[in-house]
Structure 1
């Protein structure tokens, strides 16, 4: 009930403030704030090395019209998977949900943050393991069904340096990538817990050297979407945040650009 009241107050008081990293508490319940977990899309946005293109914004109009008022308009083009984005289940599981089919309950839900950055900073190819999940639950309580699980490796500190963030920046070659991800066993453990979605602060829920993308396969066969390249996880509490992850609603899409925001409760 407290969470429902908090969300209702947020909806009524904070619309129009989504462009800021944080919102003054005067626009939210006292002591609460918003955190933008989304990287801006531009020419520097990292995409998978084999992607045929990156993000492109082309100016159509920008200036005064003959009628005397200013007018700006652009066209944009980008692959579905790059920058802060959604992986819909159909991305790695035939017959599962595409982007527009995802229920809002999988995109808007309470979150937990599992931080394994200490391991990731020692080993670029570190994998989240069931032991990390079990340790989290021992200290912070069980992960309830319908929770959005955010996995923090600390890799966001390298954004948007492609070589550091991906481990290699050779165009067209994805065979030399190195960054943390989620193991098959950890993905299976999250499926067992019936989580709503899984997010990570790297380019993929699978680690850089992966060849079979087994974390993707495991999660998405269970119709669990993924959020990749999530920003600013270090600003979130271990528990208590409400996540709003709203992708472009692309019919038949295997994913798409994502605007993801955390609502932090008072306290």
Structure 2
């Protein structure tokens, strides 16, 4: 019995040490940052899109005596934090369920254009902004996920400040005003840097006043998915970021609600 007790003590000590080692490794791995806005009746959508709604089916103690909760929800594909699949603007390209997982998971860089946007809310990321970033942090590697921090997430969910208008319908579309990615920058990232995904903290890859959506079309033509209405990009460094961006797997979908997270590597 004495030997068995000693063995239990040794095993307990080993378990304590192992737990501490695993905990330390988890801390050293990095910090997780949520890049998604929550979905609610406050969620912002394109002025012509149906907004998110949630209907309570049941919430409480049921007739069998235990608690139960269930809801129905409705949401347009494109609204809140969501993914644009390439088929959104390119016929025959990938729909949501066809995008390879490795294209939605990987190393990312974060390019900030907050200063430019503070001076001009219709500013578009330029090639010169990318090259300035690369002068400081090095050339963007192939198959990188590129995120653009415009600072607009700070205004969520105030439609007037975030979208430039609180109006709905075509009147709202015509009044949109927010930053985006210039088509020339999209071409550069696509053909010169061969990135695998792109995202930003506004309602569209194209800036709000766009009518031709050239930036969307450039990325979509190369099967590059886009993430829109991201959150907390301010909390990410320029490099050393791992992104996991998994949308609702809608068969044939042109987009879908997205839960995106980032690990800031130590």
Q: Provide the TM-score with structure 2 as the length reference.
A: 0.89
Structure 2 gaps of 5+ residues are: 1-18
Compare CA radii of gyration and give the structure with the larger one: 2
Structure having the larger proportion of residues in helix: 2
Is 1:50 the counterpart of 2:45? The answer is no
Is 1:154 the counterpart of 2:158? The answer is no
The Cα of 1:264 is off from its aligned counterpart by 1.2
Structure 2: distance between partners of 1:168 and 1:29: 42
| Residue 28 of structure 1, aligned match among 13, 20, 26 | 26
The Cα of 1:76 is off from its aligned counterpart by 0.7
Alignment CA distance shift 1:116-1:243 (3 Å) = same
Structure 1: distance between partners of 2:94 and 2:180: 23
Structure 1: distance between partners of 2:59 and 2:154: 34
Structure 1: distance between partners of 2:224 and 2:94: 9
Residue in 2 aligned with 1:220? Answer: 220
1:229-244 mapped onto 2 (5 Å cutoff): 229-244=229-244
Is 1:77 the counterpart of 2:71? The answer is no
Moved runs in structure 1, 4+ residues, more than 6 A? Answer: none
Residue in 1 aligned with 2:139? Answer: 142
Q: Provide the secondary structure at the position in 1 that maps to 2:44.
A: coil
Structure 1: distance between partners of 2:185 and 2:62: 57
Indicate if the aligned counterparts of 1:146 and 1:195 stay in contact, CA closer than 8 A. Answer: yes
Indicate if the aligned counterparts of 1:105 and 1:146 stay in contact, CA closer than 8 A. Answer: no
User: Residues 115-155 of structure 1: CA distance to partner in whole angstroms, max 9, x if unpaired?
Assistant: 01100110010000000011111110011111100001111
Structure 1: distance between partners of 2:165 and 2:24: 44
Q: Provide the TM-score with structure 1 as the length reference.
A: 0.88
User: Residues 16-66 of structure 1: CA distance to partner in whole angstroms, max 9, x if unpaired?
Assistant: xxxxxxxxx768242621000000000010100011x20011100101112
The Cα of 1:67 is off from its aligned counterpart by 1.6
How large is the Cα RMSD of the aligned pairs? 1.3
Q: Provide the secondary structure at the position in 2 that maps to 1:30.
A: helix
Residue in 1 aligned with 2:189? Answer: 190
Structure 1 gaps of 5+ residues are: 1-12, 14-24
Q: Provide the secondary structure at the position in 1 that maps to 2:87.
A: helix
User: Residues 62-115 of structure 1: CA distance to partner in whole angstroms, max 9, x if unpaired?
Assistant: 011122110000011100000000000000000000000000111001000010
Residue in 1 aligned with 2:119? Answer: 122
The Cα of 1:171 is off from its aligned counterpart by 1.2
Is 1:64 the counterpart of 2:61? The answer is yes
Residue in 2 aligned with 1:176? Answer: 175
